[in-house]
Amino acid sequence: MKQNLISDLHAITRVNTKLFSKLLSNCESLICDSINELDVSGEDILELDIGIGTISFILQEDCLSYDFYPSESLENKLVFTLENKINPVITTAEQKLEQKLLATYKDLL
């Protein structure tokens, strides 16, 4: 299965996909800058917090490997979603629709 986070973010927020693409391009440049600093420093491990988790980069003999570790918040949400079979995107959309319907109903009265 494959998903596209940028398209999904656009659908939820209506923010232009080009803006997300530009933001991610800047993130890629910053990650490369951090990897360059790691290489120059002579160290071999870089832990980079990306907001939703940490990417751990290991640089050994010009070979780069990496792992992703979700933040506590993301991990809790993932566990909650799996355990309760609740889709948070649908839940949020349903709540917004309910609020709009109630507001419209109140306006009619």
Whether the predicted pLDDT of 109 surpasses 80: no
Whether the predicted pLDDT of 107 surpasses 90: no
- How far is Cα 106 from Cα 104, in angstroms, rounded to an integer? 5
Q: What is the pLDDT of residue 87?
A: 81
Q: In what order do the strands lie in the sheet with 45-49?
A: 45-49, 53-60, 63-70
Closest-CA residue to 70 (of 59, 81, 61, 86): 81
**What six digits make up the tokens of 88?**
């948070």
Q: What pTM did the predictor assign?
A: 0.73
Whether the predicted pLDDT of 104 surpasses 80: no
- Rounded to the nearest 10 degrees, how much is the dihedral formed by the CA atoms of 35, 39, 43, 45? 30
Q: Which of helix, strand or coil describes residue 42?
A: coil
In the chain, the percentage of residues whose pLDDT exceeds 70 is 86
**What six digits make up the tokens of 6?**
């940028």
Whether the predicted pLDDT of 95 surpasses 70: no
Residue-wise pLDDT for 20-55, tens only, equals 999 999 999 999 999 999 999 999 999 999 999 999
For the residues 10-20, what does the mean pLDDT come to? 87
Q: What is the pLDDT of residue 92?
A: 63
